[in-house]
Structure 1
Amino acid sequence: MKSPHDVSAGIAERAKRRRLEANLTQEGLAARAQVSLGTLKLFERTGKSSVEFLIAIAFALGAEQEFEALFPSKPRKTIEDVIAKPLRQRGRRK
């Protein structure tokens, strides 16, 4: 089982690899994504970033479609399921 740190470090490594495959410098990617160079360097080194930063980098690298698979909703099976069980708006657990 991976930890959140392992996942973020892996994302940063894959983003760096994609940047290098695109033959971009850190400065070039930061300019394309309209993010600060320092934040990009920190991200590639540690994996730390905001969601907005990560999305900006993904768009600049042409990887925005990968976000579509994140947190997919479960499809309803039939119209009866939709009528019988409305979507909950709040969670029950703390």
Structure 2
Amino acid sequence: MADLWSVWWVWLAAALALAIIEVLAPGFIFLGFAIGAALTGLLLLILPGIGWTIPMLALIFAALSLAAWLILRRSFALRTGQVKHFEDDINS
């Protein structure tokens, strides 16, 4: 089971599952994790000869997910000084 996490397609399948979860529960919560898993899978696909260990892959996944989340937050956040304003109330 430990060797399974060193296979590139497992990471890409996890990225696909996380992307599907993001569609079902939007809010950019799982999208950063999906991007991190996809980039980790691509890294394993491009550089297969390196002796990847589970802690090393977990660290790479965490760092890439954090970077993706920060980029997403900066890209889709409200501009400085901008406030959300709602015209209609769904309860009325």
Larger fraction in helix? 2
Question: Which one has the largest radius of gyration?
Answer: 1
When normalised by structure 2's length, the TM-score is: 0.31
When normalised by structure 1's length, the TM-score is: 0.31
